[in-house]
Structure formats: C-alpha cells, structure tokens
Amino acid sequence: MKNIVQVFGRKKTSIAVAVVKGPGNGFIRINGTSIDLIEPEILKYKVFEPLLLMGEAGFGDIDIRIRVKGGGYVSQIYAIRQAIARGIVKYFEKFVNETKREEIRNIFLNYDRSILVGDSRRNEPKKSGGKGARSKYQKSYR
C-alpha cells in the first residue's frame, strides 16, 4: 500500500506542489526530470538542504515528485525547497510517528525558518495617480 501526501511551497509568484509517496526508492523528480539536473550549481544546494539536514537514513524510502510553475529561477528553487521540507514533515506526521516528525521539524526551524514557513511579502499593486504602487506624479503650484 502506498502512503501519499501532497503539499505545496510558495515564494513570490512561484508555486511548487510536492507529492510524497512511501515506501519508495528515494527518487526526487522536478517537473519530470531528476533533481541532479538543476542549474546553476549553487541553487542545487538550496534544494538539497532539507535532505542534507534530515540525513540519508531518514528519507531513503520515500519518493518525491514536484511540479513547479511561475516566478523566476530563484523563487522556484525556494518554493521547491519549501515543498520538499513540508512534504517530509507531513509524511512523518501522518505515516511514521509524531516524535520523529517533531524532531525533523525542529531541525528545519533551527536551521532556517523559511524552509517551513512561507515568506508573506508580495508585490503591491499599482494605484492611480502615479507610476507605481506608492509614488505619485509631481505637482506644480504655479
């Protein structure tokens, strides 16, 4: 029997949906391609952070499939990172045990809070009377 959990991660306008299945072989695929093919190399380490923090013994028996869209490269990477971490925590909560879940969650939160908690900053919409969200056209009183 397959145990399945679906979670999402967000950053700006990027949304990553992760489907975590267990038991599995430890595959991680992003939009159908392997996680090893992520470019540039520096951003690849950001995606691997939740897996490195957890240790190989903890995640080796689950498969993760991620679909990501919207935003730019960097915000997609951060959305993927958040989706992976949330998926792992949710999977352990639902199918393993609560103490292991709490242990993993504390490791993630101590390392970087944005792994599990989303960034609430968004782009503010433009208003009338100016060329941006807050700026106004100049007035002349002559």
Q: For residue range 65-85, list pLDDT tens digits in order.
A: 999 999 999 999 999 999 999
pTM for this prediction:
0.85
> Where in the sequence is the domain holding 78, given as residue range(s)?
3-115
**What separation in angstroms does the CA of 73 have from each of 53, 69, 70, 77, 80?**
23, 10, 9, 6, 11
pLDDT band (50, 70, 90) for residue 4: very high
Minimum mean pLDDT among 4-18, 36-50, 70-84: which range? 36-50
Q: Structurally, how many domains does the chain consist of?
A: 1
**Is 64 contained in some domain?**
yes
Both tokens of 13, joined, read 């306008």
pLDDT at 14 > cutoff 80 = yes
Please state at what angle helix 73-91 crosses helix 98-111, rounded to 10 degrees. Answer: 150
* Cβ-contact 14, 76 below 8 angstroms: yes
Both tokens of 33, joined, read 């391609």
H helices within the chain, ranges in order?
41-54, 56-59, 73-91, 98-111
Task: Name which of 69, 61, 4, 88 is nearest 31 in CA terms.
Answer: 69
pLDDT of residue 130: 93
**Is 73 contained in some domain?**
yes
How does the average pLDDT of the chain come out, rounded?
Answer: 89
* Cβ-contact 114, 54 below 8 angstroms: no
**What separation in angstroms does the CA of 21 have from each of 2, 37, 59, 63?**
6, 21, 11, 5
**Is 135 contained in some domain?**
no
CATH number for 98 = 3.30.230.10
Greatest alpha-carbon span in the chain: 79
